[in-house]
Amino acid sequence: MSEYKVLPGPEAYLPPSAASMGITLPDPGEALIEGRIVPEDEAIEYAARKLLSAKVPTIFPGPQVLWKWDEMAPKIAKALRELAVILPARLIPMADYRPKYPKIDPAVEINPNHPNLTIWHNKIDVCMFVGVHCHLSGMGLKMIRGGTDCYTIAMCLMAGHEDACISVRDTTDEKIRKLIDAVKKLKAQGVKSQALPFTQFKHDYKSVKE
Amino acid sequence: MNKKAAVGNKRIIASTHVKLGQKNKKGQTYTDPNRFFFETPGTANFLTGSEVIREAIKRASIDMSVAYPITPQSEAAALIGELYAEGYMGDYFRGESEFAVMSQCAGAAFGGARVFTTTAGPGTMRAFENFPMWAGARLPIQVCVTCRGINSPLSIQPDTLELYFLLETGMLIWHAETAQDLFDFILKGFVVAEQPDVHLPIAVCCDGFFVTHTKDTVMLPPDDVCLPPYDPYKSPVVCMDMECPPVRTMRDPFVMKSNYISYAAHATWQQEMRAACDRSRKHTISLLDGLIDAENTDREILIVASGTAVSQGREAIRLLEQEGVKVGLVKIKSLRPFPTQEVREATKNAKHIFVPEFNMAGWLAREVQAVIPDNHRVVAGPRVGGGMTLPSEVIVEEIKKRLGMKVATLASRGS
Amino acid sequence: MKKRMNIRMSGLGGQGAVTAAHIMAMAANKEGKYSISNPFFGAEKRMAPAESYVRIGPERIYDRGELVFPDVIMVFHPQVITMQKSYTAPFYSGIKEKGLIIINTSADLLHEEDYERLGKLGVSVYNFDAISMALEIGGTELSTNMAMIGAVAGITKVVSLDALDKALQERFGKRYVASGGTATLDEAIKKKYAKKEMLLKKNMDTILKSYEIAGAWAAEHKQELEAVAV
Amino acid sequence: MSKEKIQICEDLYDIMPPEYQDMVENATYGKEGRGWKDIGESKELIEQHSLCAGCPEAIAFRYVLASLPNPENTVMVGSTGCTSLVFPHVAVHNIHSLFGNQNAVASGLARALKVRFPDVQKDVVVLAGDGATVDIGLDMTMQSWFRGEKFTTICFDNELYANTGGQESGLMQKGFVAKMAPVGKLFDKVRLPEIAREAGCHYVACLTVSKPQRVEKALRNAIFVAREFGPTYIQLYTPCILEIGKQSMEGLDEMKSAETVGGRFVFKEYMTDAVKDFLADLEAKEKAQKKTAKKPVTA
């Protein structure tokens, strides 16, 4: 197994891709923490801990969960909303993958073609990708590790991402719910969210919490 | 069919959007690849390589194929047409040139189809602009390349120089030694290339004539089983069929350094393509039983080769054995990804590493030299070109010369 | 059989040397031996040099491509020698010691110098008029390759008559896949014989006759032919 | 895809940027008789573009997208050039692969969609510049017509290579001095509409984009005919105001002057007799429908 560690950046001007450093993707039931293959539950618990410890935890839902195109998408969307509320965390969508013209507002949306803006001038310290097509997510994760010190989590609908600090594969709404349960459990144990207060669009987490 | 995987081995995961066990309109049963490759009994058939391509495609559940005549792949391409006439695929036609054919294959793959095509030599070169485009667009098209000479003056004979050009296109490149390899590689190639974490084009290559026009014994599973079909929604990129999100999307937008798009996007795009190629290792290892085959690598003398050169190496090893010289063999099955670790490990005991090749450039020798320590151990040859044969006696001669043994110089032509 | 036999067939485009190699390989395959056959030709068409190779042996054969060092050379047409329509010059270069050469000819085409060189190597030469035999028994020149097959099988016994019969059935009895030119020739020959059965029979008859005559010749030259007998 | 599939998951609706919410609410997917008149009243299928201010290509793009009869089941194929800078912002799936291979890509795509969705009418529309259509891609343009591929080819003819900076193209007028034509172009403008007619296109139209109604009509004709008969071709004059030395506001005048009597872009249409009958039928049906629609609804 590779000794390489997938840690938050900024690692290099153009950091190597984890796959080329020998990190392999997990098999079903497994997940990755910083390049190590671990049981999936362990990774989910660790992700919950990371999200709670963040000052600006942010969830990036991608097209596969934003758009109601198959049976799974609305289920995951619902779970993500609950997760965002319970953590709390911002939800910043990756609505599509176009190089947007003339500008993109990184507080409103993200896009892998605009890497300098991808994580909001490094204001986001922990982010989570869900439902972004793997090729684009692979790009986004690499650029984040190249340019910022953001801790990345990828809840992948398919085979996972070595370039994320934590990666879970075959994500369903149930796995997001496992993450919610892990957050709840940690909170019950007295772990407090370190998130700075924020207001997002029409939705203020404080008001929704009730 | 390849060696059976030991029980308890990690298994390949294939698409399951179409129920396994269900029958297609030709009455073939969609079969889990693990069962298909490792549990379905095969029977021996005596066939040419071209016929073997037909047999593989008959069981591959492809949606489409596009053809263009060029020796030595023309027979295979025509046979696939017959399969279409028999109802084994949705569409098939003759394109107007290899450049167009590869673009037509791209169009079909963008639209979510499993596509197969064949080409050779100058055709490969004419098509070339498409190959890095396929890889960048993450299109899991399979092209079977039946290598032939490419430079002027024209030749139709086997020569593997075109493979050198293909190496850095971003495609997966496998090199078949025999008709059996060709059959296995074509079917397994679809399974590996279409993995969501890989999802790259694959060139399954063989040496023209030596494989395509040679009659050889091949084990074939019954023709009433077939691979599960391709699932375009298990793709790392968006399928262009207006059935999946995002609706506003272009495959693939220009990524240039300008006021609104970063150069880093293009660089990481390339890294992601190459990462996908690396990820194929895991799947390839379980399906092909490794990226290399290694025999007797504890010996001081090794032959490292791919394609037909492996066969010639095997015969040379037999001849040398009769004279008491023991030689090991490393057969490289996957050229991309290159089996770097495997080759290092397999060659660690060798004092002399011979790399026989069917091209004048000696690209495989360079690849080996680039990844092993003490690469003066590599003897880059013997090599032939232009479709010349590489008799096993010539490899024997090269090895004996290096060892300081007496050799009678072999004349190739005339006397 | 104890060892590998490598046969090089040098002919002219359209004569059926490729088909002959395929039939020999199929026959060997049918009787449980290992075999490989492959053709080699240029972009030229009929009457241009065309070679095919068949390797038959007791164990798995890997070697492929042009046979540079054959045990047996079969010359399908006098022009291979007289017009040098051959991939090698002279046509017998590379032949192994105690090898065999079978030439389709009505006259002796070799010079004294050739015999001298072949003699040194202990190579036997079997001249016979395969075209006449084809015309006489098969009723068409297109059966020349059958006469050639009969000769090599009769001398070396590398494949049996029974196996050849089965191979013929497979080759002409059902639809066969071949490159463009060969497919067209197949059609031509099928037209010549009203029925497929007739074609098979005439072909087999040609093989039988040639096998018989060549076999008798081989019996006379038993000693010299040891190296190529199976 | 049905209009119902172009929906945002409720739980994440409010976090979507407003233009996506607007697209779902107000775009004209699935609208019978959609056309250029929807522009200004509903959400267009095209967002910002990065073309020069006043570029006629931009308005041509908007007319084309507004007039697609079936955008929720249309996939477009483009090529390298100015058009490819607009395509990322278009809300129907679209493909760029290489320069000049657009009709080959479309051939493969249209056939694949037919195989995958035998019961759904999926329209494939090629839209490329004149360099891609006539010069580097002419072989594949024409071969797709010879083969009778059932899709529409649109050429945005600006009579030069605009994206690379104004080089000579096959559709450039004879005598025009341009980069790579330092003494003026030495041969005539290629007569692609006539070539298209002879090469097997069942419907051909050549026009400017000065009159949106006409563009809409030609496009709808081309797509309906492509579905039933085979290849169709539309050539639209979209002058490159930059390279011919005009101001941003002069595009329309340039087009109008090119379409006046004796001009290069006098409106012309070619169609087979069968197509003529088919289009006449179609028109009659549409008229009848409009008539019924106009009738007051009685309770």
**What's the average model confidence in pLDDT over D47-75?**
93
Residue that wins the pLDDT comparison between D52 and B330:
B330
Token duo for residue C15: 């004569």
**Rounded Cα distance, D66 and D71, in Å:** 9
* C80, C74 contact by CB (below 8 A): no
pLDDT at B5 (0 to 100) = 46
Spatial distance between the Cα atoms of B73 and B122, rounded to a whole number of angstroms: 12
Helix, strand, coil distribution of chain A in percent, nearest 5: 35, 15, 50
Contact B217 C29 (CB under 8 A): yes
Are residues B246 and A143, on separate chains, in Cβ contact within 8 Å?
no
Is the Cβ pair B282, A24 closer than 8 Å?
Answer: yes
The CA distance from B111 to the nearest CA of chain D, in Å, is 5
Q: Is residue D38 part of a domain?
A: no
Rg of the Cα atoms in chain D? 19
Residues A88-124 pLDDT 10s: 999 999 999 988 777 778 788 888 877 655 566 678 9
CATH code at position C114: 3.40.920.10
Mutate to test the interface with A, among B191, B247, B272, B277 (most CBs of A within 10 A): B272
Does D31 reside within a domain?
no
Could you tell me what percent of chain B has a pLDDT over 70? 94
In whole numbers, what is the pLDDT of chain D averaged over residues? 94
A contact residues 129-188, partner B, Cβ 8 Å cutoff: 133-136, 138-139, 142-143, 146-147, 158-160, 162-163
Q: C25: which chain B residues are within 8 Å (Cβ-Cβ)?
A: 46, 215
Residue in D closest to B116 by C-alpha: D108
Return the SS3 of C7.
strand
- In chain D, % helix, strand, coil (3-state, to 5) comes to 45, 15, 40
- For residue A114, being part of any structural domain is answered with yes
| Residue showing tokens 């793009």 | D61
- Tell me, what DSSP letter sits at residue D136? I
C90 to chain B: which residues are within 8 Å by CB?
A: 414-415
Q: Give C87 or C131, the one with higher predicted confidence.
A: C131
Question: Residue B284 and residue B120: Cα distance in Å, rounded?
Answer: 24
Structure confidence by residue, pLDDT tens digits, B152-175 = 999 899 999 999 999 999 999 999
Select the residue from D3, D4, D15, D95 to test the A interface by mutation, using most A Cβ atoms within 10 A. D15
**In contact, A176 and A76? CB cutoff 8 Å:** yes
Q: Chains that contact D by 3+ CB pairs under 8 Å?
A: A, B
Average pLDDT over residues B93-109: 98
Looking at residue A198, the DSSP 8-state letter turns out to be -
Subunits next to A (3 or more Cβ pairs <8 Å) are B, D
Interface test with C, best of B47, B159, B213, B397 (most C CBs within 10 A): B213
Q: Which positions in chain B have a beta carbon within 8 angstroms of at least one beta carbon in chain C?
A: 46, 48, 50-51, 54, 71, 74-75, 79, 154, 156-158, 178, 209-211, 213-217, 308, 310-312, 314-315, 388-393, 411-415
Fold classification of B292-402 (topology level): Rossmann fold (3.40.50)
Q: Is A69 on the interface with B (CB under 8 A)?
A: yes
What is the average pLDDT score of chain C?
Answer: 89
pLDDT (0 to 100) of residue D290: 81
pLDDT score at B147: 97
Angle between helices D192-199 and D138-146 (to 10 degrees): 30
Angle between helices D102-116 and B98-110 (to 10 degrees): 40
Q: Is A190 left (phi over 0), alpha (psi -120 to 50) or beta?
A: left
B171-202 per-position pLDDT tens digit: 999 999 999 999 999 999 999 999 999 999 99
B187: number of Cβ within 10 Å: 25
Nearest-Å Rg of the Cα atoms of chain C is 16
Quick check: is D201 in a domain?
Answer: yes
Task: In whole angstroms, give the CA distance from residue B182 to residue B146.
Answer: 10
Question: B236, A134: Cβ pair inside 8 Å?
Answer: yes
Residue C87 pLDDT level (bands cut at 50, 70, 90) = confident
In a domain, D109, yes or no: yes
Whether residue D11 lies within 8 A of chain A, CB to CB, comes out as: yes
Cα–Cα distance for residue pair A206/B203, rounded to 1 Å: 56
- A206: in domain: no
Which CATH number goes with the domain that contains A158?
A: 3.40.50.1220
Task: Give the span between the Cα atoms of B147 and B162, in whole angstroms.
Answer: 7
Tally C-beta pairs within 8 A across A and D.
64
Tokens standing for B221?
Answer: 């599973």
Q: Please determine, for residue A202, whether its predicted confidence score (pLDDT) is greater than 60.
A: no
* Chain A residues close to D88, C-beta within 8 Å: 98-99, 101
- Average pLDDT, integer, range D252-270: 94
Token look-up 């004796």 returns D262
Residue A159 contacts residue A188 (beta carbons within 8 Å): no
The backbone torsions φ and ψ at residue B95, rounded to the nearest 5 degrees and listed phi first, read -80, 180
Residue D195 and residue D153 in contact, taking contact as beta carbons nearer than 8 Å: no
The token duo for A155 is 């809840």
Would you state the pLDDT for residue D130?
97
Q: How far apart are CA B66 and CA B80, in angstroms?
A: 9
Nearest CB to A19; choose among B195, B236, B278: B278
- Going by pLDDT thresholds of 50, 70 and 90, the confidence category of residue C40 is confident
Distance CA(D188)–CA(D196), nearest Å, equals 17
The confidence band for B406, taking pLDDT boundaries of 50, 70 and 90, is confident
Whether B144 and B206 have beta carbons less than 8 Å apart is answered as yes
| Alpha carbon distance D94, C165 (integer Å) | 60
User: Do C and D count as touching (3 or more CB pairs closer than 8 A)?
Assistant: no
What distance in Å separates the CA atoms of residue D264 and residue D243, rounded to the nearest whole number? Answer: 18
- Least confidently predicted of A21-35, B2-16, C136-150, D98-112: B2-16
As given in the structure block, the two tokens for residue B81 are 């047409």
Closest C-alpha to A196, from A137, A147, A124: A124
C194 vs B: CB within 8 A: no
pLDDT at A204: 43
With 80 as the cut, is the pLDDT of residue D16 above it?
Answer: yes
Task: Look at residue D24 in the predicted model and tell me its pLDDT.
Answer: 94
Counting the structural domains of chain D, the total is 1
Tell me whether B78 touches chain A (CB under 8 Å): no
What's the number of domains chain C is made of? Answer: 1
To test the contact with chain B by mutation, choose from D80, D109, D139, D146 the residue with the greatest count of B C-beta atoms within 10 A, namely D109
CA distances from C93 to B352, C110, D252 (A): 32, 14, 80
Closest residue in B to D74 (Cα–Cα): B242
For D182-233, the pLDDT digits (tens) are: 999 999 999 999 999 999 999 999 999 999 999 999 999 999 999 999 999 9
Give the separation between CA D216 and CA A166, rounded to whole angstroms. Answer: 51
Q: Taking CA D50 as the corner, what is the angle to CA D49 and CA D53, rounded to the nearest 5 degrees?
A: 95
d(CA D207, CA D215): 8
Residue B153 has a CB neighbour count (10 Å cut-off) of 6
Q: By mean pLDDT, which of B146-150, C48-52, C223-227, D37-41 is the weakest?
A: C223-227
Smallest Cα–Cα separation from B304: which of B369, B229, B255, B373? B369
Euclidean distance between CA atoms B62 and B10, whole angstroms: 26
**Cross-chain residue pair B238–D93, CB shorter than 8 Å:** yes
B47 → chain C, closest CA residue: C26
Cβ within 8 Å, pair A92-D11: no
Residue-number span of the structural domain to which C78 is assigned:
5-228
Give the per-residue pLDDT at B409: 67
- The answer to whether C103 and C82 are in contact (CB under 8 A) is no
Structural domain containing residue D82: 48-294
pLDDT tier, C120 (very low <50, low <70, confident <90, very high otherwise): very high
Give me the residue label for tokens 């290579």: D161
User: CA D128, D131, D134, D139 torsion: positive or negative?
Assistant: negative
Give dist(CA C18, CA C24) in Å, integer: 10
A67 dihedral zone (left: phi>0; alpha: psi -120 to 50; beta)? beta
**pLDDT value for A111:** 83
Interchain proximity A66–D8, CB inside 8 Å: yes
Scan for tokens 């995002």, then name that residue: B246
C189-215 average pLDDT score: 85
User: Mutual orientation of helices D56-67 and D212-228 as an angle, nearest 10°?
Assistant: 50
pLDDT in tens, B208-264: 999 999 999 999 999 999 999 999 999 999 999 999 999 999 999 887 666 455 777
pLDDT tens-place string over residues D85-110: 899 999 999 999 999 999 999 999 99
- How many residue pairs bridge chain B and chain C with CB atoms within 8 Å of each other? 87
Give the pLDDT confidence score for residue B15 in this predicted structure: 75
Cβ atoms within 10 Å of D215's Cβ, excluding its own: 26
DSSP structure class, residue A88: T
Provide the 3-class DSSP secondary structure of residue B208. Answer: coil
Q: Please give the residue of chain A at the shortest CA–CA distance from B280.
A: A24
pLDDT class for C181, splitting at 50, 70, 90? low
Task: Name the helix (H) or strand (E) containing B287.
Answer: helix B263-288
Rounded CA separation D171/D195 (Å): 13
Neighbours of A202 (CB within 10 A): 7
Q: Stretch A57-68: mean pLDDT, rounded? A: 96
Radius of gyration of chain A from its Cα atoms, rounded to whole angstroms = 16
Distance from CA of A206 to the nearest CA of B (A): 31
* ipTM confidence score: 0.92
Alpha carbons C52 and C38: distance in angstroms, whole number: 6
What single-letter amino acid sits at C68? V
Q: Where in chain B is the domain with CATH 3.40.50.970?
A: 29-226
Residue in this structure with the two tokens 């790579």, named with its chain if needed: D180
Mean pLDDT (whole number) for A56-79: 96
- The token pair that represents B103 in the structure block: 């673009």
| CATH class of residue range B29-226 | alpha beta
Q: Where in chain B is the domain with CATH 3.40.50.920?
A: 292-402
Q: Do B243 and D74 touch (CB under 8 A)?
A: no
Cα-Cα-Cα-Cα dihedral of C7, C8, C9, C13, to 10°?
Answer: 140
* DSSP SS3 for B268: helix
| Helix A72-86 / helix A173-188 crossing angle, nearest 10 deg | 10
Q: Is the pLDDT confidence value at B364 over 80?
A: yes
Backbone dihedral region of A129: left (phi > 0), alpha (psi from -120 to 50 degrees) or beta? beta
The CATH number covering residue D241 comes to: 3.40.50.970
CA angle B142, B145, B151 (to 5 degrees): 140
- D abuts A (3+ Cβ pairs < 8 Å): yes
- Residue to mutate among A27, A113, A114, with most B CBs inside 10 A, is A113
Nearest to B272 among A17, A25, A114 (CB): A17
By residue range, what is the domain housing residue A127? 49-188
Question: Please, are residues A186 and A87 in contact by the beta-carbon 8 Å criterion?
Answer: no
Alpha carbon A25 to its chain centroid, in Å, reads 17
Q: How far apart are CA C228 and CA C99, in angstroms?
A: 6
Instruction: Determine contact, residues B325/B403, Cβ cutoff 8 Å.
Output: yes
Average pLDDT of span B42-71? 97
Q: How many CB atoms lie within 10 A of CB C134?
A: 25
Q: Quick one: pLDDT at residue B261?
A: 58
Q: Which residues contact B269 (CB under 8 A, 6 or more apart)?
A: A135, A139, B136, B255
- Do D15 and A92 lie within an 8 Å CB cutoff? yes
> What are the distances in angstroms from CA C96 to CA B341, B369, C72, C101?
42, 37, 8, 11
DSSP-assigned beta bridge partners for residue B318: none
Cβ atoms < 10 Å from Cβ of C120 = 9
pLDDT at residue number A174: 97
* Portion of chain C with pLDDT greater than 70, in percent: 93
Is residue D17 in some structural domain?
no
Distance from CA of A189 to the nearest CA of B (A): 37
HSE on the CB side for A13, CA within 13 Å?
1
Q: Does position A14 have pLDDT exceeding 90, yes or no?
A: no
What is the distance between the alpha carbons of residues A176 and A154, in angstroms, rounded to a whole number?
Answer: 11
